[in-house]
């Protein structure tokens, strides 16, 4: 507020403003400052792989199956208010993780909390947490994020990993939103999960209230590499 007041005193045009108008500008400046500070804090806490990802930069031409209308609709974040999920399926390098981070970035702009983690690392962390007694705390922390990005879903799961994943989905079902990126089509998930009963339980909590986006196209990493070499 002091900074806005100092700026006003340096501006000759501010002399024509009434007291109420100056006060409104000072309050607006404080509100913007607090909003930006909250946003910066949420982006930092999200630990996203692509913290600068944004929906406006998405290239729809090179990603067949990525519908601009749907993405812009998701950008309104109503899916988070309704505790729905998003499944991004496509080949390696097509930019699934970037799209997930762009959606999470928009969520942070709208005041929601988000967190990014790769599934292999999450499974390792859960195993370590079980060993050192922090398992319950880790599950509780994961359950609090409005948006949880689980990147690279699709590695074969052990019995312990299946139970852990089911616990995460159970905690979030109907209360939070989850974004999954994977190369594995949803119909093949039971083979990856392994146990039919647990596979059905996990998919019931994750898939049936989800937007499924299937993409095709060239690897964005290869395209960038080719451009850089040119």
Q: What is the number of domains present in the chain?
A: 2
Range of the domain at 38: 2-44
Burial classification of residue 97, based on how many CB atoms lie within 10 Å of its CB (0-12 exposed, 13-18 middle, 19 or more buried): buried
User: Which tokens go with 163?
Assistant: 């139970």
- In this structure, are 84 and 105 located in the same domain? yes
Closest CA to 182 of 94, 87, 63: 87
**Euclidean distance between the first and the last CA atom of the chain, given in angstroms as a whole number:** 49
- In this structure, are 76 and 16 located in the same domain? no
Query: 37-68 in b/e burial notation, b at 16+ Cβ within 10 A?
Result: eeeeebbeebebebeebebeebeeeebeebee
Per-residue pLDDT of the chain (230 residues; tens, 9 = 90+): 788 777 777 776 667 778 787 788 778 877 777 777 777 888 998 899 998 899 998 888 777 778 899 999 999 999 999 999 999 999 888 889 999 999 999 999 999 999 999 999 999 999 999 999 999 999 999 999 999 999 999 888 888 888 999 999 999 999 999 999 999 999 999 888 888 898 899 899 999 889 999 988 766 655 554 444 44
- In this structure, are 9 and 67 located in the same domain? no
- In this structure, are 34 and 68 located in the same domain? no
- In this structure, are 75 and 6 located in the same domain? no
pTM for the predicted model, two decimal places: 0.80
């Amino acid at each position: 507020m002091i900074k806005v007041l100092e700026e006003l005193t340096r501006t000759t045009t501010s002399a024509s403003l009434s007291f109420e108008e100056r006060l409104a500008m000072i309050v607006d400046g404080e509100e913007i400052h607090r909003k930006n500070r909250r946003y910066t804090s949420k982006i930092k806490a999200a630990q996203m792989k692509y913290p600068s990802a944004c929906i406006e930069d998405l290239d729809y031409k090179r990603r067949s199956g990525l519908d601009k209308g749907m993405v812009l609709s998701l950008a309104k974040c109503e899916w988070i208010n309704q505790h729905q999920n998003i499944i991004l399926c496509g080949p390696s390098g097509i930019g699934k993780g970037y799209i997930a981070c762009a959606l999470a970035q928009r969520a942070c702009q709208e005041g929601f909390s988000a967190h990014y983690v790769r599934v292999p690392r999450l499974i390792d962390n859960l195993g370590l947490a079980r060993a050192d007694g922090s398992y319950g705390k880790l599950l509780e922390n994961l359950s609090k994020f409005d948006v949880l990005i689980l990147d690279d879903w699709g590695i074969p799961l052990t019995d312990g990993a299946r139970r852990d994943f089911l616990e995460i989905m159970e905690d979030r079902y109907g209360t939070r939103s989850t974004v999954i990126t994977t190369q594995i089509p949803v119909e093949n998930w039971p083979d990856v999960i392994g146990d039919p009963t647990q596979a059905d339980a996990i998919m019931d909590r994750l898939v049936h209230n989800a937007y499924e986006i299937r993409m095709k196209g060239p690897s964005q990493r290869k395209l960038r590499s080719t451009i850089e070499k040119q």
